[in-house]
Amino acid sequence: RNHRLAALHAFFRYVQAEEPARMHQCQNILAIPLRKHARPTVGYLSKEELAAILAQPDLRTPQGRRDAVLLSVLYDAGARVQELVDLSVGDVRLDPPAQLRLLGKGRKMRAVPLMGNTVQLLRTHLQENQLDHPEQFEKPLFQNARHERLTRSGIRYILHKYVVLARSKCPSLNRTVSPHQLRHTKGMDLLQSGISLDMIRDFLGHVDAKTTQIYARANLEMKCKALEKISEPSSVQTIPSWQQNKGLLDWLRSL
């Protein structure tokens, strides 16, 4: 409905500009509101779920080591999957302060800091694949078996594979987990660590500040659910209801 109405609105904005005599009719049509939809809740992982996924790659194999770095960067940088695809070796800085340069929406560049464990994984990844030389800076950071840049679907497949493996140790992962959920998880972790929404917006590269508000709403919902699980302490006294006191009611009627 909203897609059709948006198309009609665009058409009648054009009509009123071309035919001012029809402006009143056009304004009546433009006044028809779009249907409101419930905002979807943010899908994010618990600390146990995230840890279970990150622990799955087999570090004894080259592919497993690559996947361990990929998953760590995906979460730690709060990167969109396309931002991860576009990463080149030259976008990585491992000297303090370690950071990653991401090309986000609207071709906007941003630098995000990296945690110590991710830095160590990246350093090993670059050395093992002989990518730690200036002449390799244009090469893709994450490559497939043919040394080509990984695709979006390839990254989704890698994540799905380890989610399936993690289910035996973490049954709550019996659902679809997308790369974007790791980004949401990073946003929630930043918020719960006391980072302001403005800083989270800059970190995640949100164009619209309203987008960042979803983390505040999700955090409030989580707190409310936690409070619902807490039983009232035994010392809390309830106020007696005079309507249920038969003796008091009989005495009042006798007055």
pLDDT digits (tens, 9 = 90+) for 4-43: 888 898 999 999 999 988 889 999 999 988 877 655 566 8
pLDDT mean over 40-57: 89
**Annotated catalytic residue: which of 44, 66, 75, 80?**
80
Q: pLDDT-based confidence at 143, cuts 50/70/90? A: very high
Specify whether the CB–CB gap between 55 and 160 falls below 8 A: no
Q: pLDDT-based confidence at 249, cuts 50/70/90? A: low
> Is 36 in the active site?
no
Answer whether residue 167 is part of any domain.
yes
Pair 22, 82 in one domain: no
Pair 111, 158 in one domain: yes
Mean confidence (pLDDT) of the chain = 87
Pair 204, 223 in one domain: yes
Instruction: Please give the angle made by the CA atoms of 83, 133 and 73, to the nearest 5 degrees.
Output: 30
Q: What's the helix, strand, coil split of the chain in %, to 5? A: 60, 5, 35
Pair 33, 84 in one domain: no
Pair 218, 98 in one domain: yes
> Is 183 in the active site?
yes
Answer whether residue 216 is part of any domain.
yes
Pair 5, 67 in one domain: no
Lowest mean pLDDT among 50-54, 69-73, 223-227: 223-227
Lowest mean pLDDT among 46-50, 206-210, 217-221, 231-235: 231-235
One-letter amino acid at 56 equals Q
Pair 69, 192 in one domain: yes
Total domain count, the chain: 2
Check residue 101 and give its pLDDT.
Answer: 96
Q: pLDDT-based confidence at 254, cuts 50/70/90? A: low
Pair 11, 65 in one domain: no
Pair 129, 217 in one domain: yes
Give the domain range for residue 217.
Answer: 47-227
Q: Which residue would you say has higher pLDDT here, 217 or 251?
A: 217
Pair 16, 128 in one domain: no
pLDDT mean over 229-245: 54
Can you give the CATH number for the domain in which 178 is found? 1.10.443.10
**Annotated catalytic residue: which of 65, 183, 184, 186?**
183
> Is 105 in the active site?
yes
Pair 64, 158 in one domain: yes
pLDDT at 165 over 60: yes
Answer whether residue 97 is part of any domain.
yes
Distance from C-alpha of 5 to C-alpha of 221, rounded to nearest angstrom:
32
Answer whether residue 31 is part of any domain.
yes
Specify whether the CB–CB gap between 42 and 102 falls below 8 A: no
Please name the residues in contact with 151: beta carbons below 8 A apart, sequence gap of 6 or more. 85
> Is 13 in the active site?
no
Lowest mean pLDDT among 34-38, 136-140, 208-212: 34-38
Say whether 61 sits in a helix, a strand or coil: coil
**Annotated catalytic residue: which of 13, 14, 22, 105?**
105
Pair 33, 77 in one domain: no
116-128 and 62-76 are packed helices; what angle lies between their axes, rounded to 10 degrees? 140
